[in-house]
Structure 1
Amino acid sequence: MSAKLDRRKKYTRQVLKESFIKKLKEKPFSSITIKEICDYADINRSTFYSHYSDLKNLLNQIEDNIISDLNKTLSDYNHTKNEEAIQMIEKLLEYLAENRESSQTLFSEHGDPTFQKRVMQLAQNHMLKSLEGEGSNQTTFNSEYLSIYIVNGSIHVVQHWLKNGLKESPKDIAEMIANISFKGFSAYK
């Protein structure tokens, strides 16, 4: 009986998350109501409240799961090896492609800017490990500014890629980001 309840609970949460993402795709977070989510999911409000305290709680859980998955992926690779850096970026892009609707929505203009900053901070922390682990002459000061520049550019490339329907493969985008990050724009002359 317990397994059946767990499956039902998991299903309900998934339906609520999907309904929320669909509504967030259409309009800003501040304009979405719990009633809309429940109507779209065909679930009553009391069921919603048995899983989430409010819409912000639902949004935070979706974002926290993504941040956790991204952090795990980033932690699985050696950032100082160029080959592994490309694989890491490719795995991140594959994750975003597999979770396309959520990713496109959360990185869009309707997405939570705080979430986007958290993703950038996560990427920047891992980028700093890479820059400082290379044994280069980069000072912490230079590494910090360089990582900010690389991460912000990379995030905008990913946002553009998501917004335009993932036309290029994750591998192509990963190689482009890695080449620009490690070799600069001269890699494309």
Structure 2
Amino acid sequence: MNKNPLKKQQTKEKIFQAFFREYKQKPLRKITVSAITDNACINRCTFYEYFSDVYDLLDQAQETLIHEILACLYQIKEQDNPYKLELFSAFGQNILYKYGEQMAVLLSHGDTGFQKKLLNSMQPFLLEMLGIDDNDTKTNLIISYALFGITGYITTLYSFDPSIINQEAGQTLQKLMIASLSQLSDACLPL
């Protein structure tokens, strides 16, 4: 029996959420398919329709999260607005609320692979959006610094107390992003 695409996406999302609840509490090597399926209220066969094992689930969760973040960035790019950095700052706050906890969980487990994939996917977008030459070493260092700062801020924020995620935390993230990117002399920034 073929499930409709919406139902399949909902099931996959349910599995991702169950995985993140488990991963938030324990290291990957201690997460079992049984724990995920129990948490998601699905059977093991359903799990294996989508994933070969917990490591495949982790890879797909990372790729899905990066894809969703990039989709938000490309929405900014498509807008005909001369103040794209202001939109990007708002994006930072939106990401904090929408994906912050998942990012923090993935980053806090020492998964440098996820951080590297995330940064490598966002850097070209930033360079293009700001109209900056990507061959400049200083520019690449500043962009890397800004992106590492963003991921570090989100990870640290969630490790202390997720209940403090509020408008002030979002505004602080925006200020950090603008302060970091203001070091780019070639960029058109709203300072």
Q: TM-score range by the shorter chain?
A: 0.7 to 0.9
Cα distance in 2 between the residues matched to 1:176 and 1:157: 9
Cα contact 2:103–2:154 (8 A) shared by 1: no
TM-score by length of 1: 0.75
Question: Considering only CA atoms, is the larger Rg found in Structure 1 or Structure 2?
Answer: 1
Identify the residue that residue 153 of structure 1 maps to in structure 2. 149
Cα distance in 2 between the residues matched to 1:130 and 1:14: 30
Cα contact 2:16–2:61 (8 A) shared by 1: yes
Identify the residue that residue 125 of structure 1 maps to in structure 2. 124
Cα distance in 2 between the residues matched to 1:134 and 1:64: 26
Cα contact 1:77–1:84 (8 A) shared by 2: yes
Long gaps (5+) in structure 2: 185-191
Q: Percent identity?
A: 24
Question: Are 1:62 and 2:61 an aligned pair?
Answer: yes
TM-score by length of 2: 0.74
Identify the residue that residue 86 of structure 2 maps to in structure 1. 86
Long gaps (5+) in structure 1: 185-189
Distance change (3 Å), C-alpha of 1:14 and 1:69: closer
> May I ask how many residue pairs the two structures share in their alignment?
177
Superposed CA offset, 1:23-50 (max 9, x none): 1001111221112212222322222112
Cα distance in 1 between the residues matched to 2:36 and 2:110: 16
Cα contact 1:86–1:175 (8 A) shared by 2: no
Distance change (3 Å), C-alpha of 1:38 and 1:11: same
Q: RMSD between aligned alpha carbons?
A: 3.0
